[in-house]
Amino acid sequence: MNKESIVREINKLRREKRVVILAHYYVEPEVQDIADYIGDSFGLSQMAAQTDSLNILFCGVRFMAETASIISPEKKVLIPDTTTGCSLAESIDVDDIVKWREKNRDGVVVAYVNTTAEVKAHTDICCTSANAMQVINSIPKDKKIFFVPDKNLARYIKMKTGREIEIWQGDCCVHEYYSSPLVLEEIERNPGAEILIHPESSCSHDPSIYSLPDTFVLSTTGMVRRVGLSDAHKFIVVTEPGVIHQMKLMYPRKEFISVDPYNKCLQMRKITLEGVLEALTLERHEIKVPEEIREKAFPSIRRMLEIS
């Protein structure tokens, strides 16, 4: 089948089976184009909770579909490819948290939402790149904090809040590539451009870049919103280049420069139109978090949502 035929069949099946399709900004543009909603991992979890549909096809990596299942256990959550992993989520497991708690009985574990369901089940509160500062500031100052798993986001939040934070040394292999020297080279080539930096980037190793004029450290969704609010016409985008597809659709008169257009999340890019069609046709690859894990994981997500 050619692309047009696949899209027609997807649209036919989604109507017949009453399926809502959610897609992350980092999947292939052609998959974004058939989605009902597009967002980052946190936004998509919110959409999964808010939609009236009881059938969700989640175009993203596995931990995102797990989060949707935790929030909305009554809904059927499908994913086109169950092998979609995440270097960040896979950098820590439950034993790492249990060992820390044994030495820090009164400590607070804060987990980035980019973690597995099992890790969330051993977490006190989750956070997103958009609300991590609010989450950290909500914790009493006499409490010891363990932030997992992203070292770069944790460094940025520690710098902004001034809190003492013990940091797990995990990273997103895509964002770790975006170093300050690489970004500075792009800035030199594009004077006058606004710089939009994701806090997962390794720019946190040299935080002086954050103080440069017209520089904004934002979540993926925050970047898209910033483009709409800004009077600038050119933007240097320091995150996975998939988000630029949406930026161009929403703001066609503005210019977007990826620090490296080839630095793509290969796990996200496993999601294809063919995979979407197969999942819809066979209604397989369901993600269902076991109830005993879901019950333990949900409070950490609920606290995050309350702060958001």
CB 25 within 8 A of CB 256: no
In order of their start, the domains of the chain are 3-85+268-289 (3.40.50.10800), 89-172+293-307 (3.40.50.10800), 175-258 (3.40.50.10800)
Confidence of residue 42 (pLDDT cuts 50, 70, 90): confident
Name beta bridge partners: 40. none
From the CB of residue 42, how many other CB atoms can be counted at a distance below 10 Å?
Answer: 26
**Residue type at position 68:** A
Name beta bridge partners: 78. 57, 286
Confidence of residue 204 (pLDDT cuts 50, 70, 90): confident
Convert the chain into a string of H (helix), E (strand) and C (coil): CCHHHHHHHHHHHHHHCCEEEEEECCCCHHHHCCCCEEECHHHHHHHHHHCCCCEEEEECCHHHHHHHHHHCCCCEEECCCCCCCCCCHHHCCHHHHHHHHHHCCCCEEEEECCCCHHHHCCCCEEECCCCHHHHHHCCCCCCCEEEECEHHHHHHHHHHHCCCEEECCECCCCHHHCCHHHHHHHHHHCCCCEEEECCCCHHHHCHHHHHCCCEEECCHHHHHHHHHHCCCCEEEEECCCCHHHHHHHHCCCCEEEECCCCCCCCCHHHCCHHHHHHHHHHCCCECCCCHHHHHHHHHHHHHHHHHC
Candidates 305, 308, 300; CA nearest to 108 is 300
CB 166 within 8 A of CB 159: no
Q: Per-residue pLDDT averaged across 205-230, rounded?
A: 94
Q: Please report the pLDDT score of residue 206 as a whole number.
A: 87
**Residue type at position 252:** P
How confident is the model over 121-153, as pLDDT tens digits? 999 999 999 899 999 999 999 999 999 999 999
Q: Please report the pLDDT score of residue 298 as a whole number.
A: 97
Candidates 117, 110, 171; CA nearest to 145 is 110
Indicate if the pLDDT at residue 306 is higher than 90.
Answer: no
From the CB of residue 214, how many other CB atoms can be counted at a distance below 10 Å?
Answer: 14
Indicate if the pLDDT at residue 201 is higher than 90.
Answer: yes
CB 150 within 8 A of CB 173: no
In whole numbers, what is the pLDDT of the chain averaged over residues? 95
Identify the sign of the CA torsion 171, 166, 130, 77: positive
Indicate if the pLDDT at residue 305 is higher than 90.
Answer: no
Indicate if the pLDDT at residue 286 is higher than 80.
Answer: yes
Indicate if the pLDDT at residue 48 is higher than 90.
Answer: no
Percent of the chain with pLDDT strictly greater than 90: 91
How confident is the model over 245-281, as pLDDT tens digits? 999 999 999 999 999 999 999 999 999 999 999 999 9
CB 183 within 8 A of CB 197: yes
pTM: 0.94
Q: Per-residue pLDDT averaged across 27-48, rounded?
A: 92
Candidates 243, 283, 265; CA nearest to 13 is 283
Q: Please report the pLDDT score of residue 41 as a whole number.
A: 81
Indicate if the pLDDT at residue 308 is higher than 90.
Answer: no
